[in-house]
Structure 1
Amino acid sequence: MEKEELDILKSKDPERVKAVLDEFNSKNANLFNFEKFHTDGQWLTLWRIVFELLTDDQLQTLHPLCLNTVRILTRDEFALQTNDIKSDFCLLLELARLTLGSVIVSEVKQETENTDSVASLAVGNADEDTETVVEALKCLCNLVFQSHDCRKQCVRNRTVDFIMKRVTSTTQYSNSIEFYDMNLLFLITALELSTRPRVQIDLNGIVYLTKWLDDKLVNKELTVEDLKILCEVLKVLFNITTNPDKSPNENEIQSLHLTSVVRELIIRFGEIKNEQERAVVFHCINLLTNMSSGSLTELVVKCETTESSLSALIYEDRNVLALDIILRCLRIVLEETENTAASNKIILPVLTVLVKCARCNPVMRHYIRTVILPPLRDVSQLPEVGKELRNYLCRFLTVHATMIRDLSAELLFICCKENVGRMIKYTGYGNAAGLLASRGLLDCRRVENAEYSSDSEDSDTEEYKQAQSDINVIIGRYEPPKKNPLEGMSEEQKEHEAMELANLIEKLHNSGIVKPCRIGEDGKPQPIDHILQLQEELPQQQLNQKHKS
């Protein structure tokens, strides 16, 4: 900004100031590189002049424009860290009506009088006040995101208390104020961990925010702005339900109610007609990862009717529509990661919720299994080849990303009721080897303390039974009968081939390419010193396997 323009701002001439700020804001709307403002202290000079304008009550009509300029300047992280802006931050809190004794001029006529003995600091009509509050909130969001000192100042000023006071108020605020209130609360609770127990326990945040969501669901029509606010509230709830500090009983009651509200949100927006509805559903799934196993039972409520409808999908006398939508979301993210360069991280919350659901409730496990592991019919393809959910999950069993690999393996294993033979049937021994090795199940022993219902729920199809004898369990697919490669060989030739194979494995071992192992008594692989140790252990392993089978 030129010196002449700075002088105009100092003059405080409303019309000329407005023209200069309009031009600056329009020109720098998308500015993120502030190097040119670091010469001759331009950033600090402009910052100080604009805040002088904000302290002038005679220029209140210009305050939204001034705050727009401040918002642009708050993008400069370097300047925020090298300059003292504590008093300016406090002024922004006042303009956002997040200080003691300040309230917003209401846009909507109140049905009841405010009983708080506070005086409004706002001057002018409600529209002007709302615009000022919104712009101040935008600035605060930038500052909290960019500056550690500003976050600490929010803690000292108990900013979260004032935001929650607006949440619990009977006053109806504009969508813009609600959105940026929640955005600011999300940023504070995300970046300043000490505020989470304050919101959750002292301010009863879970109860009030859950009620807020519940009230929103009453509306038949929700705008795009409403859906954006829903997303911000769900993000705040995710923050404050991470590592809950309340007593187990009290937290469980709140979690049950919250899960039931989340279920209704998932069902209402489960068709995912647009990106905003998708965001709501996926934020709901993120939030469910923090819910206890007992709370997740609220996802499948008991139904009196046996007929499915648009708001109900009946399975074993339960409405599993919300669970079905989560499974559909799994397919959506799996297809996205397959077809685009999307990060696998978007899959983790969905898999986490499905694993927890499958573990905590037999009805949910039964339904998840019917979708992910339907009865096998075509066994001509490898388990990891295809577009079914089972195929996608089998592909993840051998990826380097440990979290997605382990979650995929656990979900499949739970669907198989932790039965090793059934797991191998659906995935092949090779794909399942990582899971089996980590759990000490390479010798196909039974899982101890696995509590599942005794019903079979695994009837083989006729197609599978016909091909079963020719299925290669290592790769998990049908292979036509092949000629025995040892057929026609003398015993000496067979022994020679065996020694050749042993020598080749030994060479690979010595060069560090492979590390031969045997299955130990704990069912886990144990490295060996020499390849001939495999031959020594073979008779005993065969005997042990015979006893287990």
Structure 2
Amino acid sequence: MVPDVEQIIQSITRGDQDTVQLQLDSYNTQYAECFFFSVEEQERRKRLATAVLCYIHSQLQPPVLRVCLRTLRILSRDRRALGPLVTNSALLTLANLGGITLWEEKTEEEEKEEDGEVCRKEAMKALCNVIYNSQRAQERASTLRLLSGLSEKLKVGIESRASPSGQFYELRLLFLLTALRPELRLQLQQERGVSMLTKALEQCLAVRWGEGYEVLSDRTAPPVSKEASQRAIEILKTLFNITYTLHRQEPDEEDAALYRHLAAMLRHCLLLSCDGEDLLEELQGHTVNVLSSLPLTCLDVLLSVHLDQASQEWEGVNMDCVHTLLLFMVKRLDRGQKLKEKLTPVLNLLTESCRVHRETRHYLRQQILPPLRDFALRPEQDTTLRGRLVRLMTHVDTDVKHCAAELLFVLCKENVSRFVKYTGYGNAAGLLASRGLLGGRRNSGHTQYPPRYSSDSDSDTEEYREAKGRINLVTGRVEEEQPDPMEGMTEEEKEQEARRLISMFNRLSR
């Protein structure tokens, strides 16, 4: 039988630790998966939270403290019963029990608790729940400078050679704080958070550095463990929070070196293998997000890597990273879900990389826009990668449509006639209209880093030259010859049809 809240509170008041442990264990088991409660039950849960918060300040045995913290974690899931947990006192208590030092130093005795790590994890889980579920708790955490204490704890863990046990929840809390409070994003950025998190990523993945900005890779190494992958994902999510505006900036020499160092780490993340396909895709997705946020001038390190026998090579340049990004894009296309959220970041990254790196553009053009040889189908009906991207050019979501068209446009060196050749005028019209290029003039450049395209001409295949005169520019394919609509008409009927067409054009123009 599960004891009611009033019985538990009475046991807490009497200070009977053994009874409290048994009752809370039973309560936790009963309500571990429950999320919806009546108003009366919510009030009882608030009273229980208040009682447990007071109780954990007593000299509790470690097993009792652990079960109390688990109770608080379960209670912290209910947004309507959070009142006692969003006070300054409650937040500071959870932070201190989670190992985050703010104003009070932890005692030596606390450090030596045998199962102190379990208690710290439970406290951090509860704190993450409270911060996530309560805007007031987020404001209080900012005022209490919880971020500073958390950063110091992470720095100590990074500098330590010991295994970063329990670091996941510290990283999760750091992500929540920077995701929910704009001023904390700025604070972490100004306190050299990029450098700290890059070091945390190095420690998490146990990297070895070669010359310059190159991480040494071992293709025979086992997949990254689930625990390490999850920590890396939290680091990447927080890195994106504090770097997503950097691509608009021109970094100075010191910052450029920092971002190149990070870009080299991100390249390593892209090429890793993880313990689980879904985990690998999630890791790569967050890696792409961070790469998209860095200044383009710092992404040259993605290509400046030594070649080996297993490398993807193009024009003497290592294309392993670009090839992985291409495969990742195809995987997201195959999924076909949440394209704006999942696909547009990698489309944007590939587009901007093609603008500034000639070798990347040449490699991707060969993969996406190979020389045309078959003109029986419309471009959007083709099953190739080109056809799939052309279909996105008429997608209902404007961002998806624009990103797909922009990538193909850049692969065509932003040349209007070449763009129409590969996509058909009907599909290309949207992007050309938005750029003011329907007249066919060359793009004047709309980006921070204007592209520098060579003036070499497009290499047409023999099949294309033979079919060129019969290709319908609107549909992008060879159409069957249509009968002359004027055939069999008298001169008078032709004049009447001409006047009708002129009248229709006049109405359209008006």
Same-fold call, TM cutoff 0.5: yes
Q: Are the equivalent residues in 1 in contact too, given 2:389–2:404 (CA < 8 A)?
A: yes
| Distance (whole Å) between structure 2 residues aligned to residue 60 and residue 205 of structure 1 | 34
Which of 141, 154, 160 is the matching residue for 1:154? 141
Deviations 1:369-413 (A, max 9, x none): 112211111111111113322112211212231111111111111
2:262 aligned with 1:258 = yes
Which of 137, 147, 150 is the matching residue for 1:163? 150
Alignment-derived partner of residue 248 in structure 1: 251
| Distance (whole Å) between structure 1 residues aligned to residue 98 and residue 33 of structure 2 | 24
Which of 26, 31, 36 is the matching residue for 2:34? 31
Counterpart residue type for residue 255 of structure 1: Y
| Distance (whole Å) between structure 2 residues aligned to residue 194 and residue 171 of structure 1 | 29
Alignment-derived partner of residue 67 in structure 2: 65
Shift of 1:42: 0.6
- The 1:37/1:24 distance shift into structure 2, 3 A limit, reads farther
Deviations 1:190-229 (A, max 9, x none): 1111112221222x11112112222333365531101000
| Distance (whole Å) between structure 1 residues aligned to residue 85 and residue 272 of structure 2 | 48
Within a 5 Å distance, the mapping from 1:371-450 to structure 2 comes to 371-448=367-444
Alignment-derived partner of residue 288 in structure 1: 291
User: Secondary structure of 1:248's partner?
Assistant: coil
Counterpart residue type for residue 98 of structure 2: A
Within a 5 Å distance, the mapping from 1:143-542 to structure 2 comes to 143-169=130-156, 170-171=159-160, 177-202=166-191, 204-218=192-206, 220-221=221-222, 222-244=224-246, 248-249=251-252, 250-269=254-273, 274-303=277-306, 305=307, 308-309=309-310, 312-337=311-336, 341-448=337-444, 451-456=451-456, 458-502=458-502, 516=508, 528-529=509-510
Alignment-derived partner of residue 112 in structure 1: none
- The 1:336/1:502 distance shift into structure 2, 3 A limit, reads farther
Q: Are the equivalent residues in 2 in contact too, given 1:144–1:151 (CA < 8 A)?
A: yes
- What is the TM-score when the length of structure 1 is the normalising length? 0.82
- The 1:81/1:488 distance shift into structure 2, 3 A limit, reads farther
Q: Are the equivalent residues in 2 in contact too, given 1:97–1:133 (CA < 8 A)?
A: yes
Shift of 1:425: 0.3
Q: Are the equivalent residues in 2 in contact too, given 1:355–1:410 (CA < 8 A)?
A: yes
Q: Which 5+ residue runs of structure 1 have no aligned equivalent?
A: 104-117, 510-515, 517-527, 530-549
| Distance (whole Å) between structure 1 residues aligned to residue 234 and residue 457 of structure 2 | 42
Alignment-derived partner of residue 215 in structure 2: none
Identity, % of aligned positions: 32
| Distance (whole Å) between structure 2 residues aligned to residue 193 and residue 33 of structure 1 | 31
| Distance (whole Å) between structure 2 residues aligned to residue 15 and residue 125 of structure 1 | 19
| Distance (whole Å) between structure 2 residues aligned to residue 265 and residue 335 of structure 1 | 22
| Distance (whole Å) between structure 1 residues aligned to residue 267 and residue 457 of structure 2 | 27
Shift of 1:497: 2.2
Q: Are the equivalent residues in 1 in contact too, given 2:8–2:24 (CA < 8 A)?
A: no
- The 1:99/1:174 distance shift into structure 2, 3 A limit, reads same
- The 1:434/1:472 distance shift into structure 2, 3 A limit, reads same
Counterpart residue type for residue 298 of structure 1: V
2:39 aligned with 1:14 = no
Alignment-derived partner of residue 113 in structure 1: none
- The 1:121/1:467 distance shift into structure 2, 3 A limit, reads farther
Q: Are the equivalent residues in 2 in contact too, given 1:313–1:321 (CA < 8 A)?
A: yes
Q: Are the equivalent residues in 2 in contact too, given 1:472–1:478 (CA < 8 A)?
A: yes
| Distance (whole Å) between structure 1 residues aligned to residue 383 and residue 110 of structure 2 | 59
| Distance (whole Å) between structure 2 residues aligned to residue 494 and residue 121 of structure 1 | 102
| Distance (whole Å) between structure 2 residues aligned to residue 468 and residue 215 of structure 1 | 57
Deviations 1:426-481 (A, max 9, x none): 00001011111111111212333675333536312222222222111101111133
- The 1:499/1:82 distance shift into structure 2, 3 A limit, reads farther
Alignment-derived partner of residue 513 in structure 1: none
Shift of 1:247: 7.8
Shift of 1:275: 1.3
Segments of 4+ moved more than 6 angstroms = none
Alignment-derived partner of residue 54 in structure 1: 56
Counterpart residue type for residue 138 of structure 2: R
Q: Are the equivalent residues in 2 in contact too, given 1:234–1:284 (CA < 8 A)?
A: yes
- The 1:87/1:2 distance shift into structure 2, 3 A limit, reads closer
How many residue pairs are counted as aligned between the two chains? Answer: 485
